[in-house]
Structure 1
Amino acid sequence: MSIEVVTDVMRDALIRVLIVSAPVILVAMIVGLIISIFQATTQIQEQTLSFVPKLAAIFVTLIIAGNFMINILLEFTRHIFRMISNL
């Protein structure tokens, strides 16, 4: 196994991690922004107010995008196993 193969696998793994985590991170960021705008307009400075909606939004996102995430990770795992079997 050469250094080029290892760097290609590492690069592919990092890209897949970004792809898999992107939906959850984007939803959490958007919900946090909406809640912070709501807090700024109503002048409610409760720290726990943003926790429950973010948690619910992340849970719903995982339910909706879970199949997509699992498929990406399974494809990568199969690719790695194929590479191992070719050694």
Structure 2
Amino acid sequence: MSDADVTHIALQTMLLAAKVSAPILLTALLVGFAISLFQAATQIQEQTLSFVPKMIAVAVALLVTGNWVLHEMVSFTHHLFELLPALLGRS
């Protein structure tokens, strides 16, 4: 296994992590931004006001994208196991 192989696998892993976490993180970001705008407009500075809607939105995002996330992770793992004999054969 060469340095290029390790770098390629690490790059694929980081891209998958970014792709899989993006829907949840973007949902939390958008809901948090909307609630911050609401708090700034109404001058309500309650700390718990942003937590509950964000938690609900993230749960909904997980329900909506959960199947896709699982499929992406399983296919990446299958791809890694398919590459394993070729990578070990080069050493």
TM-score over 0.5 for the pair: yes
2:85 matched residue in structure 1: 85
Match of residue 53 from structure 1 = 53
Q: CA deviation at 1:85?
A: 3.2
Aligned residues: 87
Instruction: List runs of 5+ in structure 2 lacking aligned partners.
Output: none
C-alpha displacement at 1:84, in angstroms? 1.5
Q: How do 1:1-87 and structure 2 match up within 5 A? A: 1-86=1-86, 87=88
Between the aligned residues of both structures, percent identity stands at: 46
Q: Is 75-84 or 13-22 further displaced after alignment?
A: 75-84
| Separation (CA, whole Å) in 1 of partners of 2:7 and 2:27 | 31
The CA deviation at 1:69 is 0.5
**How far 1:70 moved relative to its partner?**
0.6
Q: Any runs of at least 4 consecutive aligned residues in structure 1 with deviations exceeding 3 A, and if so which?
A: none
TM-score (norm 1): 0.96
TM-score, structure 2 length as denominator?
0.92
Structure 1: segments with no counterpart, 5+ residues = none
Residue identity in the other structure for 1:84: L
